[in-house]
Amino acid sequence: MSHLRFGRLNRSYVALGVVVLLVYMLFVHQDRLSLSSLPYRAIQPVDLTAQRIKTLPKTEVLAHAPGFSVIENLYWHNRTFYLVTDQPWRIPPIKLIASLSTDTRTPANGRVVAKIKSIRLQPVSPEVKESNQIGETISLEAAERQFGSAQVIEGPMIINNDDNFAAHYYHWIGETFLGSWRVWSNYGWRTGMKLPMIKRVAFTQQYSKNDAPPGAKPGKDIFNDKPGANIWFTEKFFPGVVWDTKAVWDRRADSGKVYRITTAVLADRAAGHSGPSAAYKPWGDVLRLPVAPDWLLALRERVFSEYRGDTPLGMPEKPLVVYLQRQDSSRRLVTEDHEALVDELYQLQHEGVADIALEAFNSSMPFDEQVARIARATILIAVHGNGLTHSLWMTPTPRSAVFEFQPRTCTITDYSPLAIAAGVQHYMVHETDFCLPLDCPGRHCEKPGGINTIINLEPRVVTDQIRRILAH
């Protein structure tokens, strides 16, 4: 009996000890308890609504800067884009995505460029005003009816939504396309994705010269540039690309169907000008998006995919200064200053500082030959003009530079951002001195003459700085 009583006593002490230990853990170490240490029961919907909204392809803005957006599941119907979402606050303001016209003064006349369709329930109070909401309210049932059976257009598709400013190598490749490629590259950079090849390029408001109706005006209604650079470069960048011109979009509008673009890179000039960093250009904000240093390299390599010219590809061992002349145009150097510049450049070659190449591109020279000659340049010098768009294809090195000549009365910042985007230092030369991009005067140009005039230049301003650059 004594053994039994002793056993019961031991068990009582053990039970008491367990209680004390639990109390100690609860009150002394209560800060160590967390939700993760408690039993968890998943919250699951009891109806099929969640599955239905998951099944409906909803719009997602994957990357964005004013004027340039990577959009998944972008809808289009009767000349209006639709962004269908149950998270409308994740969609940027429409004015930063798309516009009716490059000229913001153009009257709407009932047209709507884009709408956000927000899937949500009815308001919980009569004080809630629909006018204060982001987008137009739509029920899930209505969204399924309107957008659930949309005809699919497979992307990725670059969409130029402008009605002007495309029929020029600089305005298309150096502005709208460049901004599109930047936001697309940023999307790949920050997600780590290997991005697929662009399949389609669209001009929603402009024809090509092959499908333009009678009376369509080159430049305004037709996106082709006279030398053919826009088509040539775009098709080199994206072999086999499909062109969806205004004629195609007109037929889609007439069909009455709703379309869903799986992946769109939407570019809109007026929307870009609405951004806080625009500074008179559409890509002021998008060019501030971080990208890989070689973000333009793949494009240049595609330009050379079938190159058969005589210019060696790759950088020369000795620095090369390329002077891109335009003495046959209205915007050129004073003849005496041009000749003096050539003499000073050859003096650099005589001193062994650099080799010199004098170039004068025209429509008879193939585009890949032009790019090949610019890509070898350590330093490119030229009067303000379309040829400076080629600075995009330069090889960025610590000594790479562009010298751009403008009248003292002008600072037109069209090409300096291209050099910066390519990783190349830019020098704006105003006759007797120069400035770096962030130190230059604000964008302006005094009359008469403006930028389209004959320009004076003190050549030693350029060649002395070249000596300093190449000395390092």
Q: What per-residue confidence (pLDDT) applies to 166?
A: 95
Those residues with Cβ within 8 angstroms of residue 396's Cβ, 6 or more apart along the chain or in another chain: 293, 422, 423, 424
Residues 456, 344, single domain; the answer is yes
Residues 333, 211, single domain; the answer is no
pTM of the model: 0.89
Q: How many domains does the chain have?
A: 2
Bond before 66 cis per omega within 30 degrees: no
Give me the CATH number covering residue 348: 3.40.50
Does 304 reside within a domain? Answer: no
> Is it the case that residue 322 has pLDDT exceeding 70?
yes
Residues 323, 443, single domain; the answer is yes
Q: What per-residue confidence (pLDDT) applies to 5?
A: 47
Does 5 reside within a domain? Answer: no
Residues 385, 286, single domain; the answer is no
* Per-residue pLDDT reduced to its tens digit, 398-442: 999 999 999 999 999 999 999 999 999 999 999 999 999 999 999
Residues 260, 334, single domain; the answer is no
Does 2 reside within a domain? Answer: no
Does 303 reside within a domain? Answer: no
Does 232 reside within a domain? Answer: yes
Domain boundary, last residue among 242, 262, 295: 295
* Per-residue pLDDT reduced to its tens digit, 106-121: 888 889 999 999 999 9
Q: What per-residue confidence (pLDDT) applies to 4?
A: 43
Residues 402, 262, single domain; the answer is no
Residues 116, 256, single domain; the answer is yes
Residues 63, 174, single domain; the answer is yes
Residues 262, 328, single domain; the answer is no
Largest CA distance in the chain: 127
**Which domain range does residue 336 map to?**
319-470
Residues 263, 339, single domain; the answer is no
* Per-residue pLDDT reduced to its tens digit, 83-138: 999 999 999 999 999 999 998 888 888 899 999 999 999 999 999 998 899 999 99
Does 11 reside within a domain? Answer: no
Does 20 reside within a domain? Answer: no
Residues 194, 340, single domain; the answer is no
> Is it the case that residue 41 has pLDDT exceeding 70?
no
Residues 330, 290, single domain; the answer is no
Does 17 reside within a domain? Answer: no
> Is it the case that residue 11 has pLDDT exceeding 80?
no
